[in-house]
Amino acid sequence: MRAGRGGDPAVTVPEAEFRSYYGQPVLKPPVWHEPHMPVYLYLGGLSGASSVVAAAARFSGHDRLAFAARMTAFAGAGLGSGLLVAELGRPERFLNMLRVFKVTSPMSVGSWTLAVHGGLTAAGAASALTGLLPLAGDAAVMASALTGPVMATYTGVLLADTAVPAWHAARREMPFLFAGSALASAGAAGMLTTPRAEAAPARVAAALGAVMETTAAAIIERRLGLEGEPYHQGRAGLLIKASRALTLAGGLLATVAGRSRTLTAMSGLAITAGALCTRFGMLAAGKASALDPKYTVVPQRDRATGRRLVAVPDQEGGPDTP
């Protein structure tokens, strides 16, 4: 019956001894598929942050960057919606997402946000492409600068609001991780689609976003104990390591990318690849976290024991005697 004593000996977290039902998971792992879910998480963040960039660029007179960001915001929301529908077990019922609005369900909040954001970014893009109703198009872009930040951050709550220990334990940092990654992605897309002379704000966004994402990831690594282990191990660990390296390299390159097209391409592509690795890594870590009963049982056992020590004394010699 004794399980545990597995895992990587190089990990600094002490090995936990615990009991389980033949080593089987307590939780069901997330059923979301690759590449649908992680690519949606990337595209949703890209679209959300790009819409804020589009609005700021429009205000400050960076017209070519504003156009590129507007198109990116629309493309990200459109492609992302398609992936979300394909991810459903019953895609033909995707409209049931708009049957109710529930603030207790981050997926409900996200669906409504995506519906509104998708509409606004489509209007903004259509106006820019056709030249029709420019004022309405600008208004749509301004409005999408309000839905965009929700798009870029709700996904952190989406993952954290589960029983998956690695996700739930990282609930404070997760929205910052996704926001930073989204900002870096939008900066990278802006760099790659705008002439260098006008892409300076995109390069700053790429660098700032990379800093924000890396900082949030480092805090998750420091703050989480046993629950954070899946972020360092196996396939998830490799993806997160790759993400860290790509994001940092891309962010550093962004600071000098104004000098050449090659540097711009290298920085933009590295950041984009890093952002994708982050999303694939988070999903892989969540699955690994749910599948090993250690991460469910040990923290809960510690919590229950701690509470019992200060609890009512009438349980003495009673049901909790081992």
For residues 11-50, which are near another protein according to CB under 8 A?
Answer: 18-22, 24-32, 49
**Nearest approach, Cβ of residue 54 and another protein (Å):** 10
Amino acid at 10: A
Closer Cβ to another protein, 29 or 119, answer by number: 29
Amino acid at 242: A
With CB under 8 A as the contact rule, the residue among 183, 226, 270, 271 that binds another protein is: 183
Residue 132 Cβ, how far from another protein at the closest point, in Å? 25
Q: What are the C-alpha distances in Å from 246 to residues 78, 80, 193, 250, 251?
A: 26, 23, 20, 6, 8
Amino acid at 199: A
Q: Give the span between the Cα atoms of 114 and 45, in whole angstroms.
A: 11
Q: Which two tokens stand for residue 122?
A: 């489509």
Among 41, 77, 125, 202, binds another protein (CB under 8 A): 202
Chain positions 57 to 76 lying near another protein, rule: CB under 8 A, are 57, 59-62
Provide the residue count of the chain.
322
Burial class of residue 291 (count of CB atoms within 10 Å of its CB; 0-12, 13-18, 19+): middle
Closest distance to another protein from the beta carbon of 191 (Å):
12
Taking CB under 8 A as the binding criterion, the range among 75-83, 127-135, 229-237, 314-322 that sits at the site for another protein is 314-322
Alpha helical stretches, state H, 16-62? 36-60
Nearest approach in angstroms of CB 289 to another protein is 10
Closest approach of Cβ 234 to another protein, in Å?
18
> Taking CB under 8 A as the criterion, which residues in 209-248 touch another protein?
209, 212
Q: Which residues contact 173 (CB under 8 A, 6 or more apart)?
A: 216, 217, 219, 220, 223
Among residues 102, 222, 223, 261, which is the contact residue for another protein, using CB under 8 A? 102
Residue number with CB closer to another protein (133 or 163): 163
Q: Which stretch binds another protein (CB under 8 A): 5-13, 196-204, 222-230, 256-264?
A: 196-204
Q: Which of residues 264-303 bind another protein (CB under 8 A)?
A: 286, 290, 293, 296-297, 300-301, 303
Half-sphere exposure of 118 (CA within 13 A, CB side): 16
